[in-house]
């Protein structure tokens, strides 16, 4: 009876700690939302506050538990990194970003390894391990700063950084595995090991992504809840299956996520919201646990080597690699400079360091403390100055900043913003806003003409080429839902214009998804094979039908 009571008290204290950490994390995120200070840095500080050298003196040094929890959280972050990436938006910089996330990671690891070997007089294998572990950049750190500061970047640099930082962890993981094999004296062939990891991981991820996308496009699952749980299980399997087979699980789950994220599927917005929240929780969990497990009093012993390596990585290795890989694409100097500066290091590097320690890699320097210090220096120094660097290098896109501001406002209210383009045939062309007689619950927030914003008044006369930013109350109702229907080969709908279809008042085609494009239909729109027709129907009709 005593032991049962003791376990109950222990569980209650654990729940109290968990709830307190989540609550404090939310408050910190809200308070620091629009400051240049990275909120993820505060989560590490929060973990250190609860740790054995902090105010609460909680002893925690279970590297095995931290490795399991943080590696699992990385799976979530990796999957959503792919799921939330728009290939359409990233197409202009896709080749460059893939080069940075593969060849760039290898060159960064080798470059830093060489400097660590010659400057710090470390062994070749240990130097390569340090370079491999710290070779990937951190998406969470970069985008928490850009979004918090409401910054959008020129030349599609946002997309470039998004794909690079979201997809370079698998390569860093493979390099770390190779370095561990060198350190532990494994007789495995390194080219064979890396080739096996890449082939199995990529094949499994693409198979999962393609198969699940086909299944969901046919509405095989009813209800958004079932689809959400199904995708959650697919995310876990896309990591576990290739890992069991000897492949790279992180690569598998990322490729699965990127395929599903760019495939048409019903009610995707609900899925995005779910995985967005889940990813935020995973990020908080990782940074808090890493702060909790570190012993701050032991960090000064590795601070100088960490500072030397961070300076080498930030001012020598990263700029050299970015210049080498982006110059052939004609990237301007300002983009190269900012991309170099935005190479923040993050939680994945610390997790890989823990994995190396648990695998038996023995190093002269304390690997965990060294990488932890390098990540702290990177987030603090580079992260805090990233908004300043974006302005200094003239990389801020003013037009995109306006759009970001509207988006941020949408998140805090029930107002939804959209845009309408006025062409020469439009009934609005040549008319003033007063003549349009716009309903009271629809506001013209701004008029964009020749790239410049115009304050809308009743006397403003619209012209061809204008873009109107419109705001209205968002529509949410459980009585009505959107559903997608794929047009298969041989369908009687193929080649028929919409105006010829007998549609009832309870079923109307709102959108047509064609490949990566979403089309707003008109009466003359012709349906093609493979189109996804988005219908508006009532929920009861779906349940009965």
Stretch 474-487: mean pLDDT: 64
Q: In this predicted structure, what is the pLDDT of residue 99?
A: 94
Residue 491's H or E segment, with its range, is none
pLDDT at position 505 over 50 = no
Range of 54-68, 283-297, 512-526 with top mean pLDDT: 283-297
Q: Backbone dihedral region of 96: left (phi > 0), alpha (psi from -120 to 50 degrees) or beta? A: alpha
Mean pLDDT of the region 236-263 = 91
Task: Find the mean pLDDT for residues 184-190.
Answer: 72
pLDDT of residue 309: 97
pLDDT exceeds 60 at position 202: yes
| C-alpha dist (Å) from residue 108 to 103, 138, 374 | 9, 14, 15
Q: Per-residue pLDDT for 501 more than 80?
A: no
Q: Which CATH class is domain 480-538?
A: alpha beta
Percent pLDDT > 90 in the chain is 30
Q: Which of the four pLDDT bands, split at 50, 70 and 90, describes residue 223?
A: low
Question: 544 pLDDT band (50/70/90 cuts)?
Answer: very low
Look at the domain 416-472 and name its fold. Alpha-Beta Plaits (3.30.70)
Q: Residues 58, 292: contact at Cβ < 8 Å?
A: yes
| Residue 409: pLDDT over 70 | no
DSSP secondary structure letters along 65-88: HHHHHHHHHHHHHHHHHHHT--HH
Structure-model confidence comparison of residues 390 and 415, the more confident one = 390
Average pLDDT value over all residues in the chain? 82
Determine the average pLDDT of the residues in 20-28: 74
Work out the pLDDT band at 49, boundaries 50, 70, 90. Answer: confident
Position with higher pLDDT, 403 vs 503 = 503
Q: What is the pLDDT of residues 130-173, one digit of tens each?
A: 999 999 998 777 767 776 666 778 888 888 888 888 888 889 99
CA distance 271 to 229: 10
Q: Label residue 524 by pLDDT band (50, 70, 90).
A: confident
- Using CA atoms, how far apart are residues 537 and 359, in angstroms rounded to an integer? 55
Would you say residue 267 has pLDDT above 80? no
Report domain extents, the chain. Answer: 1-34, 38-393, 416-472, 480-538
Fold annotation for 38-393: Na+/H+ antiporter like fold (1.20.1530)
pLDDT at 407 over 60: no
- E strand or H helix at 478: none
Q: Per DSSP, what are the bridge partners of residue 538?
A: 480
| 410 confidence band (pLDDT: 50, 70, 90) | very low
Between CA 475 and CA 80 the distance in angstroms is 26
Percent pLDDT > 70 in the chain is: 82
Residue 474 reports pLDDT greater than 70: no
What pLDDT is stored for residue 516 in this prediction? 58
Domains 416-472 and 480-538 in one fold: yes
Going by the DSSP 8-state scheme, the letter that residue 6 receives in this structure is H
Q: State residue 313's pLDDT score.
A: 96
Residues 103-131 pLDDT 10s:
999 999 999 999 999 999 999 999 999 99
pLDDT digits (tens, 9 = 90+) for 433-451: 888 877 767 778 788 888 7
At 100 the pLDDT is 94
pLDDT, position 286: 87
């Amino acid at each position: 009876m005593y032991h049962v009571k003791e376990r109950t008290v222990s569980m209650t204290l654990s729940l109290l700690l968990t709830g307190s950490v989540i609550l404090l994390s939310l408050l910190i995120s809200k308070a620091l939302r629009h400051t240049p200070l990275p909120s993820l840095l505060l989560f590490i500080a929060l973990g250190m506050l609860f740790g054995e050298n902090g105010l609460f003196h909680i002893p925690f040094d279970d590297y095995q538990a931290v490795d399991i929890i943080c590696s699992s959280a990385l799976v979530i972050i990796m999957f959503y990194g792919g799921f939330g990436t728009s290939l359409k938006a990233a197409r202009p910089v896709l080749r460059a970003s893939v080069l940075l996330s593969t060849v760039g990671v290898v060159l960064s690891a080798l470059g830093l390894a060489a400097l660590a070997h010659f400057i710090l007089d470390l062994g070749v294998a240990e130097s390569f391990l340090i370079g491999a572990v710290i070779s990937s950049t951190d998406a969470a750190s970069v985008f928490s700063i850009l979004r918090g500061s409401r910054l959008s970047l020129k030349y599609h640099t946002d997309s470039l950084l998004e794909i690079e930082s979201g997809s370079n962890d698998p390569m860093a993981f493979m390099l770390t595995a190779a370095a561990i094999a060198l350190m532990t004296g494994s007789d495995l062939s390194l080219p064979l090991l890396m080739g096996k990891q890449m082939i199995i991981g990529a094949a499994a991820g693409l198979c999962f992504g393609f198969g699940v996308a086909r299944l969901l496009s046919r509405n095989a699952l009813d209800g958004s809840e079932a689809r959400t749980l199904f995708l959650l299980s697919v995310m876990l399997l896309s990591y576990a299956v290739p890992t069991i087979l000897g492949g790279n699980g992180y690569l598998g789950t990322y490729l699965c996520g990127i395929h599903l994220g760019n495939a048409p599927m019903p009610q995707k917005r609900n899925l995005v919201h779910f995985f967005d929240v889940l990813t935020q929780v995973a990020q908080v969990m990782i940074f808090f646990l890493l702060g909790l497990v570190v012993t701050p009093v032991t960090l000064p012993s590795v601070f100088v080597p960490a500072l030397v390596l961070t300076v080498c990585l930030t001012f020598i290795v990263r700029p050299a690699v970015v210049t080498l890989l982006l110059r052939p694409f004609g990237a301007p100097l300002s983009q190269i400079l900012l991309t170099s500066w935005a190479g923040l290091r993050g939680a994945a590097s610390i997790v890989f360091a823990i994995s190396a320690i648990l695998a038996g890699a023995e190093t002269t320097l304390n690997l965990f403390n060294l990488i932890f210090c390098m990540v702290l220096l990177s987030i603090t120094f580079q992260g805090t100055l990233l908004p300043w660097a974006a302005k200094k290098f003239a990389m801020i896109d003013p037009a995109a900043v306006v759009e970001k501001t509207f988006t941020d406002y949408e998140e805090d209210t029930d107002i939804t913003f959209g845009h309408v383009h006025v062409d020469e045939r439009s009934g609005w062309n040549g008319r003033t806003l007063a003549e349009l007689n716009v309903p009271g619950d629809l506001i013209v927030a701004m008029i964009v003409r020749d790239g410049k914003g115009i304050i809308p008044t009743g006397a403003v006369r619209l012209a061809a080429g204008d873009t109107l930013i419109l705001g209205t109350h968002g529509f949410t109702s459980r009585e009505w839902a959107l559903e997608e229907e794929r047009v298969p080969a041989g369908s009687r709908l193929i080649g028929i214009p919409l105006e010829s279809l007998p549609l009832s008042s309870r079923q109307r085609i709102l959108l047509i998804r064609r490949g990566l494009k979403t089309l707003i239909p008109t009466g003359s729109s012709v349906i093609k094979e493979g189109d996804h027709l988005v219908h508006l129907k009532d929920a009861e009709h779906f349940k009965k039908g």
